[in-house]
Amino acid sequence: MSIKHLGKHVAQKSLLTPSYITRISAGFPSPADDYMDKELDLNEQLIKHPAATFFCRVSGDSMQDVGIFDGDLLIVDRAVKPVSGHIILAAINGELTCKILDIKGRCLLPSNSNYPPIPIQEDADFSVEGVITYSIRDHRVRTG
């Protein structure tokens, strides 16, 4: 899996979009509810630490079992303290990777059984670049 850095978060203005108060069924359809709650600011919902947040794009399938797929946009927060079980953006021996942090086992865990864990050796050049707080996926069908 490779990571392409897309830039730092810059919240120059709010992005307000309509928000419905009811949850939308992903099973059987329910009667439409035309009642709108309020406008939703995606910056407010997705970015908790603007000065410490940046975006990157995923390439590869090693995290597919936790719902991170090739081409997804990741929101990375440097201000969140990483703990075991967090999905992180790590730099290890000059390579960036998105994996699950296992502090006790001293390794980075993929979320696809086709890939092995990455051990964090004592002499490794290792750093946590940030915690993945959200992933954003384009659900449009690609044709041609």
Is 99 among the residues known to form the active site? yes
Q: Which residues contact 32 (CB under 8 A, 6 or more apart)?
A: none
- Token duo for residue 133: 């707080």
Which of 4, 48, 62, 127 is labelled catalytic? Answer: 62
DSSP string, 13-27: S--EEEEESSPPPSS
Helix (H) or strand (E) run with residue 45 in it: helix 42-46
Is 62 among the residues known to form the active site? yes
Which of 99, 111, 113, 127 is labelled catalytic? Answer: 99
115: closest CA among 138, 130, 97, 129?
A: 97
Catalytic residues: 62, 99
